[in-house]
Amino acid sequence: MVVELLLAAVVLVVLAVVLWLLTTTRRELGELRQATAPADAVTELLRRQIETVRAEGREGQDNVRREVGDLALRMRGDIGDLQQTVATELKGVSSEVTHQLHEGMKLFQTAQTTMGERLDRAARVVSEVQGSLGKLGEATQRVVEVGKDIQGLEQILKSPKVRGGLGETLLAELLSQMLPQEHYTLQHPFKSGERVDAALRIGDRLVAVDAKFPLENFRRMLDETEEDKRRPVRRQFARDVRTRIDEIAKKYILPDEGTFDFALMYVPAENVYYEIIIKDETDLADDPIATYALSKRVVPVSPNSLYAYLQVIILGLRGLRIEANAQIILNDLARLAGDLDKVREPLRTLGRHLGHAQSQFSEAERALDRFGAKLETIERKGGAQAELPEIAP
């Protein structure tokens, strides 16, 4: 297609040249006709020029045809080489492009897989976050509900009787988790008609535990924000605690009824226990509450410190149990010693018999040895007689 276009272009160029020559000749002829009169010589000259031009045109056409043919041949060869080169280059480029496309597809697939995994992980994380947010919402709702319940419980516990019952319940639950049932009693009665909330059995004696505690003035003390107003309320709270200590010492420390000479005052909250035992009380004119309680042989305990006291009691119970088991073992050893004395004399008699039998056995063994020696002597003599020469007749 390219060759044909080139040939057509060359032909058009040649035709344009021929037309230009003809046009030029005609113009010259016209000028000659206008400038001079017609003459045969001029006509002949013009005819020869025309023939010359025609011959030159035919020769030029032949040369152009030859040049165009040669050019077409060369162009065909060049185009063939160019096509082969282009085909080779295109083949290489196609292979490279195909390889790059494969690599690109692999990278795209890998990136797509990685992106899919990341999207899956992101979806899982979002789902987990949504689940966590849902749980957090539920937990928040439960916290709100618990807050409402606590507020309602606070209203309920404003009654001293209900609050005392709750303290007894908490004490009973703690004892049930720490001690066997046979080592404590709830609502233990005394001869006076009083009942202590719990009595711990250590051996054959009791430790009284009282769970009732005055909290009204303590709550008022917490509600006061000014120190000047807190001080008189705190004094009233200290007087309430001392009054309760006196009641415990009077009602529940009864050694004639099997109690130890001390009792435990169960303080149901750690912050109250801190206020009584740990906090500095130098602003009070009286002795500290803890000192006053110990002087009355009443030991204040909180839920945490009661746990430690119960651990000590458990160790004491284990010691008593070990002591009881040791006594049983000692009794068994005494019985075994008596049985050993009973067996010792028969064993001695048996030993004497065995010694006599052993001596008899030794004597019999020696007699047997003597008998064997004599028998060997007789056998040797018999052998010697058999070896004597025979006497000829």
Residues above pLDDT 70, as percent of the chain: 65
Question: Which residue has better confidence, 341 or 290?
Answer: 290
Specify the 3-state DSSP secondary structure of 340. Answer: helix
Q: How far is CA 23 from CA 17, 18, 19, 28, 30, in A?
A: 10, 8, 6, 9, 11
The residue behind tokens 């007894």 is 168
First CA to last CA distance, the chain: 162
Is there a domain that residue 338 lies in? no
pLDDT beyond 80 at 333: no
Number of domains in the chain: 2
Q: What are 145's strand-pairing partners?
A: none
* Lowest model confidence (mean pLDDT) among 137-146, 308-317, 354-363: 137-146
The type of residue at 84 is Q
Last residue of a domain, one of 265, 281, 302: 302
The type of residue at 242 is R
Q: What is the mean pLDDT of residues 282-290?
A: 65
Would the CA dihedral through 5, 8, 10, 16 be positive or negative?
Answer: negative
Is there a domain that residue 184 lies in? yes
Mean of pLDDT over the chain:
73
Among candidates 247, 254, 258, 262, which has minimal Cα distance to 295? 262
The answer to whether the beta carbons of residues 265 and 213 sit under 8 Å apart is yes
Last residue of a domain, one of 56, 72, 93: 56
Is there a domain that residue 241 lies in? yes
DSSP annotation string for 14-60: HHHHHHHHHHHHHHHHHHHHHHS---HHHHHHHHHHHHHHHHHHHHH
pLDDT beyond 70 at 385: no
Question: Which residue has better confidence, 186 or 72?
Answer: 186
Confidence of residue 324 (pLDDT cuts 50, 70, 90): low
Total number of residues shown for the chain: 393
* Lowest model confidence (mean pLDDT) among 8-12, 180-184, 256-260: 8-12
The type of residue at 340 is L
The answer to whether residues 169 and 41 belong to one domain is no
Confidence of residue 275 (pLDDT cuts 50, 70, 90): confident
> Burial letters for 167-177: b for 16+ Cβ neighbours within 10 Å, e otherwise?
bbeebbebbee
Residues above pLDDT 90, as percent of the chain: 0
Is there a domain that residue 62 lies in? no
pLDDT beyond 50 at 230: yes
Residue 16 structural domain: 1-56
Winning range, highest mean pLDDT, from 47-51, 192-196, 334-338, 340-344: 192-196
* Lowest model confidence (mean pLDDT) among 232-241, 290-299, 329-338: 329-338
Is there a domain that residue 295 lies in? yes
Among candidates 73, 59, 60, which has minimal Cα distance to 6? 73
Q: Is the pTM of this model over 0.85?
A: no
**Residue 153 has what pLDDT?**
40
Confidence of residue 274 (pLDDT cuts 50, 70, 90): confident
| pLDDT, tens only, 345-378 | 776 777 777 777 777 777 777 777 777 777 777 7
Last residue of a domain, one of 302, 323, 348: 302
Q: What is the C-alpha to C-alpha distance for residues 188 and 199, in angstroms, rounded to an integer? A: 6
Q: What is the C-alpha to C-alpha distance for residues 52 and 32, in angstroms, rounded to an integer? A: 18
Is there a domain that residue 230 lies in? yes
Q: What are 264's strand-pairing partners?
A: 209, 299
Q: How many CB atoms lie within 10 A of CB 289?
A: 21
Q: What is the mean pLDDT of residues 120-147?
A: 72
**Residue 68 has what pLDDT?**
67
Is there a domain that residue 199 lies in? yes
The answer to whether the beta carbons of residues 301 and 267 sit under 8 Å apart is yes
**Residue 143 has what pLDDT?**
66
| pLDDT, tens only, 19-71 | 777 677 767 666 656 655 555 665 677 677 777 767 776 776 677 677 767 76
The answer to whether residues 51 and 170 belong to one domain is no
pLDDT beyond 60 at 155: no
Is there a domain that residue 235 lies in? yes
